């Protein structure tokens, strides 16, 4: 069966912007619940400045614990520069993701570098990661629109994608950081990109700000893409990109893919346990567009099973 590969980015993209401090134990437990649901790949944390993102300050503590408890889980971490790579490697990370935005201003706001410097630093980080034997991903962020500069030129997205590929990135992650893309744009941009990037190295990362996350994911599937980032419960958003809301929810993506005949290896019932746990952590209700319905279905099945057991 045709398979969709999902990287759950909730532990990083989901938590980085949350005001409530989440303990390392709790992050580890969330990752354990994701793995128990069948998620095979997560973005666990980021090695960024703790001043910029206090929630990720425990990255060096979290990574070895995840690696010890879940050695089979593909665990990636975001790094903005060589210092982040050095810290990630020392902590035992096996995969890193560099984050290059496709506009000058977004790079400045996010990582305090201009576009050219950010590109060069990303290249150096990829080269060094390769030398250290790590797997790599490269985000091309604000690949549709930038919150500061408006629509991002397709030519910039393809140019930066080519530079990241040439620098050895194992996977290119085309990110709709503020969730402004529409399915037609996804079709067009991925149509241009798949001429340049082998499909098994091309991933997409959507946010659901305008309720188009699933539609955009469908457009990406139709374009041949099978690698997706998503966040359980739909939690997420970049603190440095105004207007960015939560990510495409993993449960919405799984439901859409499975109902369309694609396999994800992920159990929706078990994913709901991870959503419920994230709700207790963040003390608010979470979940993608499908969560209420999924919960109802599960409750109905549980009632039926209980009735059968007592019959």
CA dist 71 and 279 (Å) reads 26
87 binds, among ligand COA, Zn ion, none (CB under 5 to 8 A by kind): ligand COA
In angstroms, what is the minimal distance from the CB of 16 to ligand COA?
6
In angstroms, what is the minimal distance from the CB of 17 to ligand COA?
8
The helix/strand/coil state of 217 is: helix
Q: How many residues does the chain have?
A: 311
Nearer to ligand COA by Cβ, of 87 and 159: the residue is 87
Look at the alpha carbons of 267, 269, 275, 281 in this order and tell me if their dihedral is positive or negative. negative
With b for 16 or more beta-carbon neighbours within 10 A and e for fewer, the 253-275 pattern comes to: bbbbbeeeeeebebebeebbbbb
Nearer to ligand COA by Cβ, of 53 and 256: the residue is 53
Footprint on this chain of Zn ion (rule: CB under 5 A): 13
The tokens for 265 are 């290896």
Footprint on this chain of ligand COA (rule: CB under 6 A): 16, 46-49, 52-53, 78, 80-81, 83-84, 87, 99, 110-112, 238, 240
- Nearest position to Zn ion, beta carbon: 13
Nearer to ligand COA by Cβ, of 145 and 255: the residue is 145
In angstroms, what is the minimal distance from the CB of 288 to Zn ion?
15
Query: In terms of Cα–Cα distance, which of 135, 134, 98 is closest to 119?
Result: 98
Q: Which of 59, 235, 238, 294 is catalytic?
A: 238
Q: β-strands 145-146, 150-151: how paired?
A: antiparallel
246 binds, among Zn ion, ligand COA, none (CB under 5 to 8 A by kind): none
Residue 246: half-sphere exposure toward Cβ, Cα within 13 Å: 23
Active site residue 146: no
In angstroms, what is the minimal distance from the CB of 231 to ligand COA?
13
The tokens for 217 are 């994911």
83 binds, among Zn ion, ligand COA, none (CB under 5 to 8 A by kind): ligand COA
In angstroms, what is the minimal distance from the CB of 42 to ligand COA?
15
53 binds, among ligand COA, Zn ion, none (CB under 5 to 8 A by kind): ligand COA
The helix/strand/coil state of 190 is: helix
The tokens for 257 are 């893919």
The tokens for 25 are 């134990």
Nearer to ligand COA by Cβ, of 120 and 273: the residue is 120
Listed in order, strand segments (DSSP E) in the chain are 5-8, 41-46, 74-79, 95-101, 135-141, 145-146, 150-151, 171-176, 202-206, 227-230
The tokens for 131 are 């030398």
Nearer to Zn ion by Cβ, of 97 and 256: the residue is 97
Which amino acids are annotated catalytic?
A: 238
């Amino acid at each position: 069966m045709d398979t969709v590969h999902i990287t759950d980015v909730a532990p990083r993209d989901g938590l980085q912007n949350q005001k409530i401090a989440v303990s390392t134990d709790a992050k580890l437990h969330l990752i354990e619940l994701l793995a128990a649901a069948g998620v095979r790949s997560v973005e666990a944390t980021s090695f960024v400045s703790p001043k910029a993102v206090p929630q990720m300050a425990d990255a060096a503590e979290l990574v070895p614990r995840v690696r010890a408890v879940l050695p089979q889980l593909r665990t990636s971490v975001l790094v903005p520069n060589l210092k982040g790579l050095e810290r990630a490697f020392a902590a035992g990370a096996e995969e890193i993701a560099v984050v290059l935005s496709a506009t000058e201003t977004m790079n400045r706001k996010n990582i305090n570098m201009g576009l050219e410097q950010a590109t060069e630093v990303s290249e150096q980080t990829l080269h060094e990661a390769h030398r250290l034997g790590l797997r790599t991903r490269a985000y091309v962020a604000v690949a549709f629109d930038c919150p500061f500069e408006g629509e991002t030129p397709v030519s910039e997205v393809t140019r930066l994608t080519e530079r990241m590929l040439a620098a050895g990135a194992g996977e290119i992650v085309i990110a709709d950081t503020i969730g402004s893309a529409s399915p037609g744009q996804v079709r067009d941009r991925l149509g241009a990109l798949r001429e340049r990037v082998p499909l098994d190295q091309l991933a997409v990362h959507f946010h659901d700000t305008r309720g188009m996350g699933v539609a955009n994911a469908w457009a990406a599937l139709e374009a041949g893409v099978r690698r997706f980032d998503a966040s359980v419960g739909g939690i997420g958003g970049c603190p440095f990109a105004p207007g960015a809301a939560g990510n495409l929810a993993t449960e919405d993506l799984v439901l859409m893919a499975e109902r369309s005949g694609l396999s994800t290896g992920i159990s929706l019932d078990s994913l709901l346990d991870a959503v419920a746990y994230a709700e207790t952590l963040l003390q608010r209700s979470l979940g993608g567009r499908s969560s209420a319905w999924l919960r109802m279905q599960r409750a109905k099945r549980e009632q039926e099973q209980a009735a059968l057991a007592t019959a």
